Structure 1
Amino acid sequence: MATGAPIPMRIDPSITLLQQWLSPAYPVGAFAYSHGLDSAVETGAIGSVDDLRLWLEDLLTSGAGYSDPILLIAAYRYRDAEDLQDIDQMARAFAPSKERLAETDLQGAAFCQTTAAISGHEIANLTYPVALGYAARLHNLPLDVTVHMYLHAFASNLVAAAQRLMPVGQVEGQRLLSALAPLIAKAAQDAQTAEINDLSGCCFLADISSMQHETQYSRMFRS
């Protein structure tokens, strides 16, 4: 039986960096936001795992899961500093409620602060998807992988939030993420052929839930 030195595993550093940025350990405070799920569960709009799956599918096709990748890609392809600021202002204007604006603003600011501190790049405060797209461009990270991993992290965080709000077990949560995987991949792929003028959103119940959350008496999350 032949023996020899083990063949070293080649790991793409860019993938490792994206994993770090989108890990729950990266201090952007994603665990504190539910994107309106807190209110949706409270009012009964989401009462089962099937309801949750449909809600997330809608977000990925017609909500922030559709618009955020477009903003991220626009920031990745920005022309100059003025263009980048215009994209960021559009991201802020597109937020449907006070708390959804805070969600993207505060997570983005935390991401920029931490990433600037560990990378040496100067990054002004930007909304979360814009910040990630801009940082990915600075680090020459692959755009397709960045968008895909961003959307997976988006869905994962909402599943984790739902597990604190309703009876969704660990295995059931992972089963749900597996079921969403093809839709996540398609959303990431479709976003790469979209333009900033294609921004749209029609998840009105999710938007209303985020507004209702502002005055919800008992709350677990910040949004």
Structure 2
Amino acid sequence: MDRENATPDRQQLLRLLQLSSPLLPVGGYSYSEGLEQTIDRGIISDRGTLQAWIECELQTGAIRIETAMVDRAYLAGMTGEIARLRYWNQWLCAARETEELRLQSWQMGGSLVKLALELTPEIADSISAIGNPCNYAIAFGHVAQAWQIEREAAILAYVHTWVANQLSVGIKLIPLGQTAGQQILWQLQPNIDALARTIPTLADRDLYACSWGLSLASMQHETLYSRLFRS
């Protein structure tokens, strides 16, 4: 099937799969977002504790805010409100709890921007107007809209990709088997869907999270003696 002859729905699906693929060269695999620290201290030590940690993060953690930024970047791109894109990018920079998490967001965002410009140079003006550094959630939302990926699908893919990355960290460090990781991912589907459905309903006053556990783990990870991950 030629790309030019693909139906809009099939082309959208292909672009969504590419944007959420583990092959996307943004370096997400190199970050644990505090999980390495919690595993090192024995707070997370098995399948049950890993699943409980991810469940709590999906319910009240920072991923809730990040995904809301994906949605706001998507909407701002759809309406051409570049000033809103810049505003939410700066807002998310200020909202990052630790230096490690901020640098992670900037590195992944910059990598996605670079890739998007290589694949679709026609979006150069809008994406460069966001400013530098660009947070990953902002870049993801804007690119998803520019690639004409459905809004709800982009939100769901972002959350799913985050969960998959967290599970990959747990599989490597606890360690867990690949099957155990897939079982957790299967059981977390309702949680992933619940967050994705909530995101479009969040007003600006609802942009808060209870992520002190993640924040403490991230701050302590900076001084962890031996580590495999960058956060």
Unpaired runs of 5+ in structure 1?
A: 1-8
Deviations 1:8-39 (A, max 9, x none): x9762111111111111110000100011011
The answer for unaligned runs of 5 or more in structure 2 is: 1-5
Compare 208-217 and 58-67 and name the one that shifted more: 58-67
Q: Given the alignment, which residue of 183, 202, 207 partners 2:210?
A: 202
Q: 2 CA distance for matches of 1:182 and 1:154?
A: 15
After TM superposition, the score normalised by the length of structure 2 is 0.89
Is the Cα contact below 8 Å between 1:74 and 1:196 reproduced in 2? no
Q: Partner letter of residue 24 of structure 1? A: P
Alignment check: 8 A CA contact 2:92 2:135 kept: yes
What's the secondary structure of 1:144's corresponding residue?
Answer: helix
Q: Distance in 1 between matches of 2:43 and 2:97?
A: 19
Superposed displacement of residue 199, structure 1: 1.2
% identity of equivalent residues:
29
Please give the alpha-carbon distance, in whole angstroms, between the structure 2 residues aligned to 1:74 and 1:37: 27
> Is 2:97 the counterpart of 1:70?
no
Residue 99 of structure 2 corresponds to which residue in structure 1? 98
The total of aligned residue pairs comes to: 215
Structure with greater proportional helix content: 2
Rounded to whole Å, the distance in 2 between the matches of 1:47 and 1:206 is 16
In structure 2, give the amino acid aligned to 1:87.
Answer: W
Q: Which of the numbers 169, 182, 190 marks the counterpart of 2:177?
A: 169
Q: Which has more radius of gyration?
A: 1
Shift of 1:64: 2.3
Q: 1:72–1:133: 8 Å Cα contact kept in structure 2?
A: yes
SS in 1 for 2:188: helix
Contact 1:32 1:221 in 2 (8 A): yes
What's the offset of the Cα at 1:195? 2.4
In angstroms, what is the RMSD of aligned CA positions? Answer: 1.4
Partner Cα distance (2:71, 2:110) in 1: 18
Give 1:177 shift.
Answer: 0.2
SS at match of 1:192: helix
